[in-house]
Structure 1
């Protein structure tokens, strides 16, 4: 934070209209003068690359862009391998369509701004972002938690969940999730009930699907599964790991101070990336 009380941060602006990018840049300079705009993008692919290269604290994404939409770009950004200690950027969606100004925006860890970006509304967003960035910077000294504490973190999966809902809305489709997974067992196919899955861990070719008593391998990466499993139940705690919230026995830290998820009835310890540690905020 600088001497004027503003949080120092870096941002990317993604909008296919140059005039809108210019206007947003100018108005951000009014309400958040210490914010550094490190890159601009004209489409979703450029936005993803800008995050990969610059690793900003915040990204402003136009919902409607050619190629990948802002929501599709956000989903790709959420899967970027920026390193275990890197934090994904806070996301703000820019839209001319107020039907996307859902209640979830007001409650969760993403925000929205209607076009044209009015200074007073943008000031509210800037204040929210600064509070989140300060909170993120101060994290890392969480105490050990038990499963009973999970009830207090009810909205933790809100970013993932909101991206699913928005993506379905943009496509005009209902939000649907898998109830069964198909796993190859020898020469046969076995149906695995999603409700029985404790966690999923991916490597380069396969995803290990673990139930209480059995392990299955499927040819589907976490990147696809995260779109197909209910984000209220399955949290992505690492770029390669999804865990069933109902299977979490507790959270503890390893010898390096990094969070690990403990699984009920098993000895597994699942690493939590720094970016995903906010899922257990306040625990």
Structure 2
């Protein structure tokens, strides 16, 4: 069994690695200091299990688990944390197990045994439920591209544009497609984005203004992109009110 150890504290990672080495037929193939690194290392080393801390800088374990569920052949997640109030939420993202620090060898071996019994089909099903529940607001949007799982910081997103089944995410470095609904994105990120059309959400932080285009149609200008996005007539008044309050 291939294991990735993820914790923001080096001493905690070292202790977990020593415990893993004492277990039978288990090896540590990589380590990470936060959720984002865990995703990168998972795609490179393809572990069977990720031992994941919850409270970490840049991206915490809960969000990382949600993103990891979207990759092909996702690993089993076992949370290792000192904060037992996270237990309920951990199981909402369908972790295989939840271990309180300091982790004992016996508890670790039981959790690894449980992970070993799960096949890839079952893990994929857990991942599907993770993506449907969306327990809280993410800091990143994840998209499956030819490069693997690509992470886009929400703070860098200019707009979400719906087109039939997919949504285009325009951000500082380009565009990606995601298989999510505009309605769900609006519910999750409504404080950061405003709807300007039935098929478009734009980031409040990048709006420079609204202007009148030809034939009485309005458009919105966004900092950092030349493209103008159409504002539907039903959303003009609402957008104007939002802009006045900024």
The TM-score bracket by the shorter chain reads 0.5 to 0.7
- 1:98-177 aligned at under 5 Å gives the runs 98-102=84-88, 105=91, 108=94, 110-132=96-118, 135-136=119-120, 157-160=128-131, 164-165=134-135, 167=136
Structure 2 SS opposite 1:11: strand
Q: Which of structures 1 and 2 has the larger relative contact order (alpha carbons within 8 angstroms, sep 6+)?
A: 1
Number of residues of Structure 1 aligned to a counterpart in Structure 2: 156
Match of 2:46 among 44, 55, 58: 55
Aligned residue number for residue 8 of structure 2 = 16
Asked if the contact 1:109–1:158 (Cα under 8 Å) also holds between the matched residues in 2, the reply is no
Q: Distance in 2 between matches of 1:71 and 1:44?
A: 8
- 1:30-49 aligned at under 5 Å gives the runs 30=22, 32-49=23-40
Which residues of structure 2 form unaligned runs of 5+? 140-160, 170-176, 186-246
TM-fit CA distance, 1:105: 2.8
TM-fit CA distance, 1:78: 2.8
Pairwise CA RMSD of aligned residues? 3.6
Aligned residue number for residue 273 of structure 1 = none
Q: Distance in 2 between matches of 1:74 and 1:107?
A: 7
Q: Distance in 2 between matches of 1:24 and 1:136?
A: 24
Q: Does 1:70 align with 2:26?
A: no
Q: Aligned pair in 2 of structure 1 residues 68, 114: CA closer, same or farther (>3 Å)?
A: same
Instruction: Deviation per CA, 1:168-220: give whole Å up to 9, x if none.
Output: 6x99xxxxxxxxxxxxxxxxxxxxxxxxxxxxxxxxx85424xxxxxxx7546
Instruction: Deviation per CA, 1:4-37: give whole Å up to 9, x if none.
Output: xxxxx1111110111111111122223x321121
Match of 2:19 among 21, 27, 31: 27
